[in-house]
Protein backbone atom coordinates (compact mmCIF):
# COMPACT_ATOMS: atom_id res chain seq x y z
CA UNK A 1 0.00 0.00 0.00
CA UNK A 2 3.03 2.29 -0.28
CA UNK A 3 1.49 4.03 -3.28
CA UNK A 4 -1.98 4.38 -1.73
CA UNK A 5 -3.67 7.41 -0.25
CA UNK A 6 -6.96 7.73 1.56
CA UNK A 7 -10.29 9.29 2.39
CA UNK A 8 -10.91 10.27 6.00
CA UNK A 9 -13.92 11.54 7.95
CA UNK A 10 -12.61 14.16 10.35
CA UNK A 11 -15.59 13.96 12.71
CA UNK A 12 -15.13 10.19 13.13
CA UNK A 13 -11.98 10.96 15.14
CA UNK A 14 -12.88 10.60 18.85
CA UNK A 15 -12.63 14.05 20.35
CA UNK A 16 -13.37 15.31 23.85
CA UNK A 17 -13.49 18.94 22.66
CA UNK A 18 -16.18 19.33 19.97
CA UNK A 19 -15.41 23.02 19.48
CA UNK A 20 -12.10 22.34 17.75
CA UNK A 21 -11.65 23.57 14.19
CA UNK A 22 -10.85 21.09 11.40
CA UNK A 23 -7.19 22.17 11.51
CA UNK A 24 -7.03 21.63 15.28
CA UNK A 25 -8.50 18.14 15.00
CA UNK A 26 -6.27 17.12 12.07
CA UNK A 27 -3.02 18.46 13.59
CA UNK A 28 -3.59 18.16 17.34
CA UNK A 29 -0.63 16.35 18.86
CA UNK A 30 -2.16 16.57 22.33
CA UNK A 31 -4.71 13.93 21.38
CA UNK A 32 -1.85 11.43 20.99
CA UNK A 33 -3.56 9.50 18.22
CA UNK A 34 -2.11 6.35 16.74
CA UNK A 35 -3.25 5.15 13.33
CA UNK A 36 -3.42 1.52 12.37
CA UNK A 37 -4.38 0.12 8.98
CA UNK A 38 -6.68 -2.89 9.30
CA UNK A 39 -7.92 -4.81 6.29
CA UNK A 40 -11.70 -4.71 5.94
CA UNK A 41 -11.94 -8.50 6.22
CA UNK A 42 -10.03 -8.39 9.56
CA UNK A 43 -12.13 -5.65 11.15
CA UNK A 44 -14.35 -8.09 13.10
CA UNK A 45 -11.28 -9.81 14.59
CA UNK A 46 -9.79 -6.41 15.46
CA UNK A 47 -13.09 -5.35 17.05
CA UNK A 48 -13.15 -8.51 19.21
CA UNK A 49 -9.55 -7.90 20.30
CA UNK A 50 -10.32 -4.29 21.24
CA UNK A 51 -13.45 -5.33 23.14
CA UNK A 52 -11.48 -7.95 25.07
CA UNK A 53 -8.79 -5.42 26.01
CA UNK A 54 -11.31 -2.61 26.62
CA UNK A 55 -9.49 -0.48 24.08
CA UNK A 56 -11.59 2.14 22.29
CA UNK A 57 -10.99 2.67 18.60
CA UNK A 58 -12.66 4.34 15.65
CA UNK A 59 -12.71 3.65 11.95
CA UNK A 60 -11.93 7.08 10.54
CA UNK A 61 -11.38 6.35 6.87
CA UNK A 62 -10.18 4.02 4.20
CA UNK A 63 -7.12 3.57 2.06
CA UNK A 64 -7.58 4.11 -1.65
CA UNK A 65 -5.50 3.37 -4.73
CA UNK A 66 -6.04 6.92 -5.97
CA UNK A 67 -3.00 9.07 -5.27
CA UNK A 68 -5.16 11.64 -3.51
CA UNK A 69 -5.66 12.57 0.15
CA UNK A 70 -9.16 13.73 1.06
CA UNK A 71 -10.38 14.69 4.53
CA UNK A 72 -14.11 15.37 4.85
CA UNK A 73 -15.63 17.45 7.67
CA UNK A 74 -19.30 16.59 8.09
CA UNK A 75 -19.86 19.37 10.63
CA UNK A 76 -19.02 22.15 8.20
CA UNK A 77 -19.88 20.10 5.08
CA UNK A 78 -16.44 20.84 3.69
CA UNK A 79 -13.27 19.11 2.63
CA UNK A 80 -10.41 20.87 4.51
CA UNK A 81 -7.74 18.60 3.02
CA UNK A 82 -8.00 17.81 -0.68
CA UNK A 83 -4.69 17.35 -2.41
CA UNK A 84 -2.72 14.96 -4.57
CA UNK A 85 -0.11 12.86 -2.77
CA UNK A 86 2.57 14.31 -5.05
CA UNK A 87 2.24 17.59 -3.13
CA UNK A 88 3.10 15.77 0.12
CA UNK A 89 5.74 13.35 -1.15
CA UNK A 90 6.62 14.50 -4.63
CA UNK A 91 7.87 17.80 -5.91
CA UNK A 92 6.04 20.51 -3.97
CA UNK A 93 5.29 23.80 -5.69
CA UNK A 94 8.24 26.17 -5.66
CA UNK A 95 7.94 29.11 -3.32
CA UNK A 96 9.49 32.42 -4.20
CA UNK A 97 10.38 34.89 -1.48
CA UNK A 98 11.70 38.39 -1.80
CA UNK A 99 13.14 40.57 0.93
CA UNK A 100 14.94 43.83 1.49
CA UNK A 101 17.41 44.35 4.30
CA UNK A 102 16.83 47.30 6.54
CA UNK A 103 19.46 48.72 8.85
CA UNK A 104 18.14 49.12 12.37
CA UNK A 105 19.46 52.07 14.31
CA UNK A 106 18.99 51.16 17.95
CA UNK A 107 19.73 53.46 20.89
CA UNK A 108 22.77 52.64 22.99
CA UNK A 109 22.44 50.42 26.05
CA UNK A 110 21.79 52.39 29.21
CA UNK A 111 24.02 50.92 31.93
CA UNK A 112 23.59 53.71 34.46
CA UNK A 113 22.46 52.47 37.88
CA UNK A 114 22.64 48.84 36.74
CA UNK A 115 22.56 46.29 39.55
CA UNK A 116 24.34 43.27 38.05
CA UNK A 117 22.77 40.77 40.48
CA UNK A 118 19.24 42.02 39.71
CA UNK A 119 19.95 41.94 35.96
CA UNK A 120 21.22 38.34 36.14
CA UNK A 121 18.24 37.31 38.26
CA UNK A 122 15.81 38.83 35.75
CA UNK A 123 17.50 37.17 32.76
CA UNK A 124 17.81 33.75 34.40
CA UNK A 125 14.11 33.73 35.35
CA UNK A 126 13.15 33.54 31.69
CA UNK A 127 12.29 29.98 30.59
CA UNK A 128 13.91 30.70 27.22
CA UNK A 129 17.27 31.24 28.93
CA UNK A 130 16.99 28.39 31.46
CA UNK A 131 18.65 25.00 31.04
CA UNK A 132 17.39 22.99 28.08
CA UNK A 133 18.66 19.69 29.48
CA UNK A 134 15.05 18.58 30.02
CA UNK A 135 14.60 18.51 26.24
CA UNK A 136 17.07 15.63 25.97
CA UNK A 137 14.35 13.21 27.06
CA UNK A 138 11.09 12.78 25.20
CA UNK A 139 9.72 16.29 24.79
CA UNK A 140 6.09 15.39 25.56
CA UNK A 141 7.02 14.34 29.09
CA UNK A 142 8.81 17.47 30.22
CA UNK A 143 8.50 20.19 27.58
CA UNK A 144 7.25 22.77 30.09
CA UNK A 145 10.34 22.55 32.27
CA UNK A 146 8.01 22.26 35.26
CA UNK A 147 8.13 18.48 35.57
CA UNK A 148 9.73 17.69 38.93
CA UNK A 149 9.39 13.92 38.46
CA UNK A 150 7.91 12.07 35.55
CA UNK A 151 6.96 8.44 35.12
CA UNK A 152 10.42 7.44 33.90
CA UNK A 153 12.93 6.39 36.59
CA UNK A 154 16.66 5.73 36.66
CA UNK A 155 19.47 5.88 34.14
CA UNK A 156 17.58 3.64 31.68
CA UNK A 157 14.38 5.67 31.99
CA UNK A 158 12.13 2.75 32.96
CA UNK A 159 8.43 3.76 33.27
CA UNK A 160 7.88 2.47 36.80
CA UNK A 161 7.31 5.57 38.95
CA UNK A 162 4.17 5.50 41.06
CA UNK A 163 3.56 9.21 40.58
CA UNK A 164 4.37 12.12 38.27
CA UNK A 165 4.94 15.51 39.93
CA UNK A 166 4.81 18.94 38.31
CA UNK A 167 5.40 22.37 39.79
CA UNK A 168 2.78 25.10 39.53
CA UNK A 169 5.39 27.68 38.44
CA UNK A 170 9.13 28.12 38.19
CA UNK A 171 9.51 29.75 41.61
CA UNK A 172 7.31 27.68 43.92
CA UNK A 173 7.27 24.40 45.79
CA UNK A 174 3.55 23.96 45.07
CA UNK A 175 2.36 21.68 42.32
CA UNK A 176 0.38 18.64 41.31
CA UNK A 177 0.91 14.90 41.73
CA UNK A 178 -0.71 12.54 39.25
CA UNK A 179 -0.98 8.77 39.21
CA UNK A 180 -2.82 6.32 37.02
CA UNK A 181 -3.89 3.01 38.46
CA UNK A 182 -4.13 -0.20 36.54
CA UNK A 183 -7.61 -1.58 36.04
CA UNK A 184 -7.47 -5.30 36.93
CA UNK A 185 -9.20 -7.87 34.74
CA UNK A 186 -11.70 -9.91 36.72
CA UNK A 187 -12.61 -13.33 35.46
Distance (Å, whole) CA 99 – CA 111: 34
Give the DSSP H or E segment for 44: helix 43-52
| Whether the predicted model's global pTM rises above the 0.85 cut | no
Distance (Å, whole) CA 87 – CA 34: 23
Residue 136's pLDDT is: 46
Residue 30's pLDDT is: 59
Provide the CA 107 distance to its chain's centre, in angstroms.
Answer: 41
Please, what sign has the CA dihedral across residues 134, 138, 144, 149? negative
Residue 128's pLDDT is: 66
Residue 151's pLDDT is: 66
Residue 176's pLDDT is: 84
End-to-end CA gap in the chain: 40
Residue 139's pLDDT is: 47
CB 4 within 8 A of CB 64: yes
Residue 95's pLDDT is: 82
Distance (Å, whole) CA 53 – CA 48: 9
pLDDT, block means (10 residues), the chain with 187 residues: 76 81 77 80 95 90 89 89 84 82 88 89 76 49 69 70 79 80 46
**15-56: per-residue pLDDT in tens?**
777 788 888 887 776 566 678 889 999 999 999 999 998 888
Q: What are the residues whose beta carbons fall under 8 Å from the beta carbon of 179, sequence distance 6 or more? A: 162, 163, 164
Amino acid sequence: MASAAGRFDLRAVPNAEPGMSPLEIWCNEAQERYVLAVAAEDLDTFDALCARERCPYAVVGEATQAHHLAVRDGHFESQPVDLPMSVLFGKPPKMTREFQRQANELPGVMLDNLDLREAMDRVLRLPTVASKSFLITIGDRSITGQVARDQMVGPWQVPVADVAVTTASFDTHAGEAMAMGERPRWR
